[in-house]
Structure 1
Amino acid sequence: MVSLDEVARTAGVSSATASRALSGRGQVSAVAREKVLAAAEQLGYVVSSAASSLASGRSRSIGVITPDLHRWFFNTVLTGISDTLTRSGYDLTLYNVTADPQLRREIFRAFLRRRRVDGVIVIALELDDWEAEQLAQLDLPVIIIGGSQRGIPGMAIDDRAVTRLAAEHLLQLGHRRLGYIGGDQAFDVDFHVPTRRREGFNQALEAWDADPDAALVRAADFTIEGGYEAAKQLLGTPGHSLTGIVAASDEMAIGAILAARDLGLGVPQQLSVVGVDGHELGALFTLTTVDQKPADQGRRAAERILRQVDGEHDGQPTLPYELVVRGSSAAPLIGG
Structure 2
Amino acid sequence: MVSLDEVAQAAGVSPATASRALSGRGHVSPATRQRVSDAAEQLGYVVSSAASTLASGRSRSIGVMIPDLHRWFFNTVLTGISDTLTRSGYDLTLYNVTGDVQLRREIFRAFLRRRRVDGVIVIALELDAWETQQLKDLGLPVIVLGGSLPDLPSMAIDDRAVTQLATEHLVALGHRHIGYIGGEAAFDVDYHVPSRRREGFLWGLRQHGITPDESLVQEADFTIAGGYAAAKQLYGSPANQMTALVAASDEMAIGALLAARDLGIAVPQQMSVVGIDGHELGGLFQLTTVDQQPASQGRTAAEHMLRRVESDEEFTIDLPYTLLVRGSTAAPTHSVPSSD
After TM superposition, the score normalised by the length of structure 1 is 0.95
C-alpha deviation, 1:81, in angstroms:
1.1
- Give the conservation status (yes or no) of the 8 Å contact 1:188–1:194: yes
Alignment partners' CA distance in 2, 1:70 and 1:46: 33
Q: How does 1:196-235 map to 2 (within 5 A)?
A: 196-213=196-213, 216-235=216-235
1:259-292 Cα distance to aligned partner (Å, 9 max, x none): 1111110111111111001111111211111111
Indicate the residue corresponding to 2:68 in structure 1: 68
Q: How does 1:294-333 map to 2 (within 5 A)?
A: 294-333=294-333
C-alpha deviation, 1:9, in angstroms:
3.7
State the one-letter code of the partner of 2:277.
D
Alignment partners' CA distance in 2, 1:147 and 1:24: 32
The secondary structure found in structure 1 opposite 2:318 is coil
C-alpha deviation, 1:215, in angstroms:
6.8
* CA gap 1:212/1:27 in 2 versus in 1, 3 angstroms: farther
C-alpha deviation, 1:39, in angstroms:
2.0
- Give the conservation status (yes or no) of the 8 Å contact 1:120–1:141: yes
Structure 2 gaps, min length 5: none
State the one-letter code of the partner of 1:150.
P
State the one-letter code of the partner of 1:105.
R
* CA gap 1:333/1:121 in 2 versus in 1, 3 angstroms: same
CA RMSD of aligned residues (A): 1.8
Indicate the residue corresponding to 2:238 in structure 1: 238
State the one-letter code of the partner of 1:226.
G
Alignment partners' CA distance in 1, 2:234 and 2:47: 58
The secondary structure found in structure 2 opposite 1:81 is helix
Alignment partners' CA distance in 2, 1:150 and 1:122: 13
Query: How many residues in Structure 1 have an aligned counterpart in Structure 2?
Result: 336
Alignment partners' CA distance in 2, 1:300 and 1:95: 20
Alignment partners' CA distance in 1, 2:317 and 2:135: 21
Indicate the residue corresponding to 2:105 in structure 1: 105
Indicate the residue corresponding to 2:77 in structure 1: 77
State the one-letter code of the partner of 1:331.
A
The secondary structure found in structure 2 opposite 1:116 is coil
* CA gap 1:118/1:238 in 2 versus in 1, 3 angstroms: same
Alignment partners' CA distance in 2, 1:37 and 1:226: 51
C-alpha deviation, 1:164, in angstroms:
1.1
Alignment partners' CA distance in 2, 1:215 and 1:203: 17
Structure 1, 248-257 or 165-174: larger mean CA deviation: 165-174
Structure 1 gaps, min length 5: none
Alignment partners' CA distance in 1, 2:83 and 2:159: 26
State the one-letter code of the partner of 2:221.
D
- Give the conservation status (yes or no) of the 8 Å contact 1:23–1:88: no
Indicate the residue corresponding to 1:169 in structure 2: 169
1:227-274 Cα distance to aligned partner (Å, 9 max, x none): 111111111223211111000000000010011111110111111111
Indicate the residue corresponding to 2:252 in structure 1: 252
